[in-house]
């Protein structure tokens, strides 16, 4: 278990540092900023690379919603939920901490920029409402778990799951960055929110509730969808 938790910590650390780091440090860099497309790809690449690196150790959840969804789908032991979630959240906080140390080294850095935190209403990149954010996070997490459960099904082509999951997360970010800055991951949302405080912590509840609801629904649906029983 200690190796599994260590892998989840490192993997979630990389997801936050790589994904949020691309948004904070590289998205708007003068002349060569990677923009929304680059940030979406960065998040997908963090999951793809870690799936190959630690998937055989911990399953590479990196996300409390994924752990809940796999449990609901009958793929994960309930007794491991709490330890996995703690490791993921701690990894996310560590990743956000390193990002903060790096970003704050630039003259004029201001945490009010959000450190890639998730938000709705006036804190939504596109000014989308709470309802829009709720629907987006539930649906996007639902689809993410359908992709994960399907790609890792023992009947699926072997060896391609990390690619499908990484590209799936990229697509999710392409759709939903304008709405909520894309969470689909309570740990990813918690890391930056800890450092930003204020509104980011005040809105954090949505980015725990909605992804977990979407993930559990997907677990239940795929348990039926993927059943071999007639």
pLDDT value of residue 190: 98
On average, the pLDDT of the chain sits at 95
Nearest CA among 63, 49, 28, 39 for reference residue 174: 39
pLDDT value of residue 229: 60
Distance CA 176, CA 137 (A): 8
Q: Where are the domains of the chain?
A: 2-224
Q: How distant, in Å, are the alpha carbons of 8, 41, 155, 189, 194 from that of 27?
A: 26, 11, 39, 18, 22
Range 149-175 average pLDDT: 95
Of the two residues 158 and 113, the one the predictor is more confident about is: 158
182: CB partners within 8 A, 6+ apart? 40, 43, 118, 140, 172, 173, 176
pLDDT value of residue 7: 97
CATH architecture of 2-224: Up-down Bundle (1.20)
Phi, psi of 45 (to 5 degrees): -70, -35
Distance CA 117, CA 24 (A): 10
Q: How distant, in Å, are the alpha carbons of 106, 140, 226 from that of 131?
A: 36, 14, 31
* Contact call for residues 22 and 72 (beta carbons, < 8 A): no
User: What percentage of residues in the chain have a pLDDT greater than 70?
Assistant: 99
Of the pLDDT bands very low, low, confident and very high (cuts 50, 70, 90), residue 189 is very high
**2-6, 13-17, 158-162, range with the lowest pLDDT:** 158-162
Q: How distant, in Å, are the alpha carbons of 26, 94, 180 from that of 53?
A: 24, 19, 29
Nearest CA among 193, 174, 186, 192 for reference residue 138: 186
List pLDDT tens digits, range 198-220: 999 999 999 999 999 999 999 99
User: What percentage of residues in the chain have a pLDDT greater than 90?
Assistant: 89
Of the pLDDT bands very low, low, confident and very high (cuts 50, 70, 90), residue 80 is very high
The answer to pTM > 0.85 is yes
pLDDT at residue 114 tops 90: no
pLDDT value of residue 227: 78
* Contact call for residues 19 and 44 (beta carbons, < 8 A): no
List pLDDT tens digits, range 22-56: 999 998 888 889 999 999 999 999 999 999 999 99
pLDDT value of residue 230: 46
Q: How distant, in Å, are the alpha carbons of 69, 96, 173, 196, 203 from that of 133?
A: 20, 22, 13, 20, 11
Given the structure tokens 């892998």, which residue do they identify? 7
Distance CA 151, CA 55 (A): 13
């Amino acid at each position: 278990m200690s190796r599994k938790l260590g892998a989840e910590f490192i993997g979630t650390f990389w997801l936050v540092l790589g994904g949020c780091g691309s948004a904070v440090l590289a998205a708007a860099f003068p002349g060569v900023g990677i923009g929304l497309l680059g940030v979406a790809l960065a998040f997908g690449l963090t999951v793809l690379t870690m799936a190959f690196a630690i998937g055989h150790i911990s399953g590479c959840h990196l996300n409390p919603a994924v752990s809940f969804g796999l449990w609901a789908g009958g793929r994960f032991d309930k007794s491991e939920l709490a330890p996995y979630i703690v490791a993921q959240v701690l990894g996310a906080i560590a990743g956000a901490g390193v990002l903060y140390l790096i970003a704050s080294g630039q003259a004029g850095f201001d945490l009010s920029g959000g450190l890639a935190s998730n938000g709705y209403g006036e804190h939504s990149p596109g000014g989308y409402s709470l309802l829009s954010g709720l629907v987006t996070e539930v649906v996007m997490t639902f689809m993410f778990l359908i992709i994960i459960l399907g790609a890792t099904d023992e009947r699926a082509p072997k060896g391609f799951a990390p690619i499908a999951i990484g590209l799936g997360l990229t697509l999710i970010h392409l759709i939903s960055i304008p709405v909520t800055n894309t969470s689909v991951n309570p740990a990813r949302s918690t890391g930056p929110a800890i450092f930003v405080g204020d509104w980011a912590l005040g809105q954090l509840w949505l980015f725990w509730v909605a992804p977990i609801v979407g993930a559990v629904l997907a677990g239940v649906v795929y348990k039926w969808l993927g059943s071999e029983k007639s």
